[in-house]
């Protein structure tokens, strides 16, 4: 579950919350669910395609509060050539589900809450690590580039790297 983390995150997260305004979404996005916010933004086409291929759309459109660490299309592009295509094949659906659910934490974890934890269990079942590295909030090896993008059923934190289960 959640454990205490160092206080330096507070100042850093305040700056990240300001940068969240750069995320292109309207004030009405709070009325939209996680999937609709991601689709509307246009920087998560690969993630949305993967969510559809994995059959997780209904999960991410559901009523429960979720926190999604959402890799951008550029994050997926950093994976070795052929990785995304391999994961999107029907015979690899279980692997794809494991990767995607490793990006989701139950409950709404806002930036101010992140300052109080150093790990959290994903819906995939493994823990992700939360830390500060050179002034950046890190989720495993991914940097949070925009925090607290609100949706009707949770929150999105934009990350620059695809998280892979251990």
Q: What is the mean pLDDT of each run of 10 residues along the chain (166 residues)?
A: 35 36 45 94 96 96 94 97 96 98 95 83 96 87 95 96 96
Supply the pLDDT for residue 138.
92
Q: Which residues contact 21 (CB under 8 A, 6 or more apart)?
A: none
Supply the pLDDT for residue 30.
75
Supply the pLDDT for residue 132.
83
What domains are defined for the chain?
Answer: 9-159 (2.30.180.10)
Supply the pLDDT for residue 134.
82
Contact 104, 123 (CB under 8 A): yes
Supply the pLDDT for residue 115.
65
Q: Is 17 left (phi over 0), alpha (psi -120 to 50) or beta?
A: alpha
Q: What is the pTM of this model?
A: 0.82
Q: Which residues, listed in sequence order, are joined to residue 158 by a DSSP beta bridge?
A: 70, 146
């Amino acid at each position: 579950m959640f454990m205490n983390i160092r206080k330096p995150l507070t100042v850093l997260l305040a700056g990240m919350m300001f940068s969240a305004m750069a995320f292109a979404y309207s004030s009405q996005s709070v009325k939209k669910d996680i999937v609709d916010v991601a689709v509307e933004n246009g920087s998560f086409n690969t993630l949305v395609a993967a969510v559809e291929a994995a059959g997780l759309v209904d999960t991410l459109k559901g009523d429960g509060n979720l926190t999604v660490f959402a890799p951008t299309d550029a994050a997926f592009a950093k994976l070795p050539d052929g990785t995304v295509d391999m994961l999107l094949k029907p015979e690899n659906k279980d692997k794809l589900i494991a990767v995607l659910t490793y990006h989701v934490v139950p409950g709404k974890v806002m930036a101010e809450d992140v300052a109080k934890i150093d790990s959290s269990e994903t819906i995939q079942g493994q823990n992700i690590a939360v830390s500060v590295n050179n002034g950046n909030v890190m989720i495993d090896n991914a940097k949070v580039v925009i925090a607290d993008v609100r949706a009707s059923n949770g929150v999105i934190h934009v990350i620059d790297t695809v998280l892979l289960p251990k």
